[in-house]
Each structure stands twice: as structure tokens, then as C-alpha cells.
A = this chain, B = another copy of it.
Amino acid sequence: MRLTTFSDYALRVLIYLGSAPQRLATIEQIAAAYGVSGNHLMKVVHHLAQRGYVETVRGKGGGMRLARAPQAIRIGEVVRTTEDSLALVECFEQDGDCRIARACVLKRALAEALAAFFAVLDGYTLADLLAPEAPLRRMLALRSPAR
């Protein structure tokens, strides 16, 4: 049981952007801060932009920033969009053909468990994840904002 790398990276991008609200960030900067491949982040950023979490500014000096306040970004909501499937087992899929699907209490139990999982994540917003502001900025090699 694991989230996709896509979800993991999407959340990392949001944490980066939320930690550096004063400027436009580039994919290269985010990739360097986490030590991951920029190629992997391209699709992630495209997804986040499509879903209205991130806005991009083109051209020289361009980059991206959060399109919503961190308080308005629920983590459960993000993960629901970034996971390509929430079909925990075969019978969650339309073409699943487990013979006992129609009498299966397990399916209901798993659906309840999944709902509980997301209920916890929906209790967190990006703002909660940004709370350790100073250590996050240090670990992401971001300069402290001029105050």
C-alpha cells in the first residue's frame, strides 16, 4: 500500500511553493531543492496547474506560484486528484469480476477504511504542512524573506 511518486512529488511541489511565496519558482529550482529529476516534476506541475493549485507565468523571469492560499488547499483533496486509482482491490473497478462481489462485506469495509484515510488528510491544509517555516526554508535552501 503506497501512494504514487506522482502524489509524493505533487505534495513536495506545493510545500516548496508555499515555503517561498515571495517569488516565482522554476521546475529546476524545485528539482534541485529536493534532489529529484526535473522531468518527473514537469507532469506534476502541469497537473497542479490544471487543477487550479498552481499558476504559471511564462517567459524570461517566469515560473510558478500557488494559485490559492495554503489554507484553501486540502491535502486529501490534492491526493484524490493525484492518485491514478483509488481502487483498493479488483472489485472497486467497473470491470472487476470477483465472484463474490455482490455479497462481499469486505468491499464495504475497505471503502469505509479509505474514507477514514481521506477524512484525516482532509483535516490538514497546506498551511498546516508549512508550519515549520524556518526549518523548511533552510532544508529547501530558500533565503529567508526580507521583513
Contact = CB atoms under 8 A, between A and B. Distances in A.
Interface of A: 1-5, 7-8, 11-12, 15, 33-35, 75, 83, 85-90, 97-100, 102-106, 109-110, 112-114, 116-121, 123-124, 128-129, 131-132, 135-136, 139-140
A103 B35 CA distance: 17
Contacts of A116: 113, 116-117, 119-120
A139 B1 contact: no
Copies of the polypeptide in the assembly:
2
Nearest to A131: B105
Contacts of A105: 124, 128-129, 131-132
Contacts of A85: 1-2
Given A87-B2, A98-B34, A113-B121, A11 B136 contact: no
Contacts of A103: 132, 135-136, 139
Contacts of A117: 113-114, 116-117
A47 to B, nearest CB: 16
A90 B105 CA distance: 32
A85 to B, nearest CB: 6
Given A34-B98, A98-B34, A129 B113 contact: no
